[in-house]
Amino acid sequence: MFKKLNHVSHIVENLEEALKLYEDILRLKPWAPGIVELKKQGARLVWLPIGDNFIELIEPTDSNNRFARHLKEKGEGLFHLSIFAEDYDKEIAELKAKGYEVDEETFVFQKDSVAKLAFLSPNQTKGAWIEILDMASIKF
């Protein structure tokens, strides 16, 4: 079962400028650990808590990944919706059985946990990436 929306992700050209804008308009402050450099993924990002969800700002640092391609093709704006799955393996298997192409990854989160996640391409979802996140693999 898909449990809840975790975050909405926004691709930006300049993370510091975008962060300043979100702080000014919505008075949102970064969630610890602040700006994070993800060398393997080729991006810098920051999470802004809002209620029990987040807005994630992502700045590509590598010109050859999905973040940079999205920015080049569509400009700044909505990148993905991140949904928690209660039974990640079951949900991914069901999506694959229905014929969806699922790009699975792992993500080092807060240095002490490794999150399982998967992406469905915007070509399959009417324009936005959908990220499915294994709720059990995240430790807050």
* The total number of structural domains that make up the chain: 1
Residues 6 or more apart whose Cβ sits within 8 Å of residue 102: 92, 95, 96, 118, 119, 120, 132
Q: Note the pLDDT tens digit of each residue in 15-74.
A: 999 999 999 999 999 998 899 998 888 999 999 999 999 999 999 999 999 899 999 999
Q: Note the pLDDT tens digit of each residue in 83-97.
A: 999 999 999 999 999
**Coil, helix or strand at residue 18:** helix
Beta carbons of 107 and 114 less than 8 angstroms apart = yes
Domain of residue 25, CATH code = 3.10.180.10
| 10 bridge partner residues | 57, 78
Beta carbons of 70 and 11 less than 8 angstroms apart = yes
Range of the domain at 32: 2-137
**113 falls in which pLDDT band (50, 70, 90)?**
low
Torsion over CA: 29, 69, 134, 37 (sign): negative
Q: pTM of the prediction?
A: 0.86
